[in-house]
Amino acid sequence: TLNALNISVKERILQIKVNMERCLQLPESFGDKYILVNIPAFELIAIKNNTPVFRSKIVTGKETDKTAIFKGTMQYVVFAPYWNIPKSIMHKEILPAMSKHPGYLEQNNMEWFDGKIRQKPGPWNALGGVKFIFPNAYNMYMHDTPAKTLFNAESRAFSHGCIRIEEPVKMALFLLEDQKEWSLEKINEAMKLEKETMVVLKEKTTVHILYFTAFIDENGKLNFRKDIYGKDQHLLY
């Protein structure tokens, strides 16, 4: 609170101007059904017919593994997913751990598959009970997580770039609302299995990953957030 109070009016005005400039890059319409992610706010909002359906706290990429800013199309929901470990994580973290502890893979429910390492579905899986895929050049997706305590932090830039969501069941219901066979009970059951199930979405939903450090909420209140990736300074100078 003290840090926020010590930010001058001049700095806040510049922050507003930077974000007004970002608004110029937005489309005139987002459509009838879409998902908005604001990285500095660590928040996801699912919207239908201009009305928020639900909100979710999120965990985004840390400074060294920034979450990308782009638009994508949600196409798949994967229940009880394998975690196909990226090569960067495999070389930086998994292989060194294996050299120190020969039983590391078995202890962490991992296995070699097609020349790569993956973690098996289950309550131990780093992706939790479900992941949401919107194919993109950044190999980013959204997913559940067993590390629920991270959502209690005010600043939640902890991931390797992908977006962890606090409300994965609500997300699944939102995306699968027109596929009536996927009831709340069936979704909860599928998330707890130890067998991966992929569902192709009949209705594709647009995902907008944005970066706004100043914005007006639905109550007309001006909000400010920390410039966690230093992008405001880049636009100013």
pLDDT digits (tens, 9 = 90+) for 11-65: 999 999 999 999 999 998 998 999 999 999 999 999 999 999 999 999 999 999 9
What is the reported pTM? 0.92
Give mean pLDDT, residues 125-129.
96
The neighbouring-strand residues paired with 215 are 223
Report yes or no: 146 and 128 within 8 Å, Cβ to Cβ.
Answer: yes
Q: Is residue 220 classed exposed, middle or buried when 0-12, 13-18 and 19+ CB atoms within 10 A define those classes? A: exposed
Start-to-end CA distance of the chain, whole Å, equals: 27
CA distance 61 to 65: 5
With 90 as the cut, is the pLDDT of residue 234 above it?
no
